[in-house]
Amino acid sequence: MAKISEQQIKEQDIDWYCLINGRPAHIASMGGMIPSMFRDRNILRMQQEMVADMEPITNAVLNDANIQIMVADGYEYLQDQMISAAIVAANRNNPGFAYLSDSELPIRLFASTFVEKARRGFRSFARKEDAEGNEYILIAEPVGAS
């Protein structure tokens, strides 16, 4: 079993999966700790590939309040029209980005991967960046999951 080191966990955003109250959950670590039972590199890779190969089965509901918290800082560069146009062009084939076409660009950039997990049946969480420790907040979930 190849375990991911604590240093690697702190330096990377690792997607991992579990059940929370019997419901499938996707968690983006965003540099936060991962419980040791979920640190096996081979199992993580297999799960990530399986989820990537799944077809969307439903629509997603965004947690707008939590997304606003996550995009409040760090997206100022998108005010440059050339940068914004390049980002939109580069992401035109990204299904989550396209799904959020009516949303503002920072939301589309941040939430697109969470939306794609929710469309595959997962409640999708992100580590709250300015929180002490590992506080995770819901970003997106399948329609009817609440």
Residue-wise pLDDT for 21-54, tens only, equals 999 999 998 888 888 888 888 888 999 999 999 9
Q: Does 125 or 14 have the greater pLDDT score?
A: 125
- pLDDT score recorded for residue 131: 62
CA atoms of 23 and 18, how far apart (whole Å) = 8
Contact partners, residue 49, CB within 8 Å, separation at least 6: none
CA atoms of 118 and 125, how far apart (whole Å) = 10
Q: Does 43 or 8 have the greater pLDDT score?
A: 43
What pTM was estimated for this model as a whole? 0.89
Contact 145, 61 (CB under 8 A): yes
Summarize the confidence of residues 6-24 as an average pLDDT: 85
The DSSP string of 85-103 is: HHHHHHTTT-HHHHHTTTS
Summarize the confidence of residues 7-28 as an average pLDDT: 87
Q: Does position 7 have pLDDT exceeding 90, yes or no?
A: no
Asked which of 4-8, 13-17, 140-144 is least confident by mean pLDDT, the reply is 4-8
pLDDT digits (tens, 9 = 90+) for 69-122: 999 999 999 999 999 999 999 999 999 999 999 999 999 999 999 999 999 999
- pLDDT score recorded for residue 33: 81
- pLDDT score recorded for residue 146: 67
% of the chain exceeding 90 in pLDDT = 70
